[in-house]
Structure formats: C-alpha cells, structure tokens
Amino acid sequence: MKHRFSATVWRDGDWYVAQCLILDIVSQGEAEEAVLDNLKEELEFYFDSPQSTIPTRQDDLDSCFGSWLAGLPTAQRGK
C-alpha cells in the first residue's frame, strides 16, 4: 500500500532538514535530494511490520541458552 505525505524542507547551516509534519519524522542530508531520500527511508522503516525478537522454536531456545544450560546440574535443566 502506498502512502503520500507532505514534507517541509529547510536548510540549517550545511545541512538540509526534512520533516513529515503529520508523523513528526525528521531526517537530514547534505543535499535536498538526499534529505528527501533519507526521509523516505525513515517513513518506510516507520511503517515496516515489527519483527519478533523472542525465539519461537525449541531449537532457537537451545541455541540461545544451550551453553548456559550445559553448566547446570541435570536436575535444574528441566529435562
């Protein structure tokens, strides 16, 4: 799904700054084209689906905690 947003661009010293006012997302760049590309990337990141950082499979859990579990006595391992 495509979204269209307006942006305000201004110069601040050596940098260009772009802001999407409706979402209050700001980016900067050394040229006007660069700052708009950077803002587009920030907007894409904003609308990306979040990715889970929690392991969902036993194999993932084993790879995360395997060495830690190996140091525990067998009775405490839960197996």
pLDDT, residue 75, reads 56
pLDDT, residue 4, reads 85
Pairing of strands 15-20, 25-29: antiparallel
> Is residue 15 a contact partner of residue 30, using CB atoms and an 8 Å limit?
yes
Q: Is 13 left (phi over 0), alpha (psi -120 to 50) or beta?
A: left
Does residue 62 lie in a domain region? no
Q: Read off the pLDDT band of 2 (50, 70, 90).
A: confident
Does residue 67 lie in a domain region? no
Question: How many domains does the chain divide into?
Answer: 1
Find the domain containing 18 and state its range.
8-47
Give bridge partners of residue 9 from the DSSP assignment: 18
Who wins on pLDDT, 16 or 47?
16
Does residue 71 lie in a domain region? no
Does residue 43 lie in a domain region? yes
pLDDT (tens digit per residue) in 20-74: 999 999 999 999 999 999 999 999 989 887 776 665 666 665 666 666 666 666 5
**Whole-angstrom distance, CA of residue 27 vs CA of residue 45:** 12
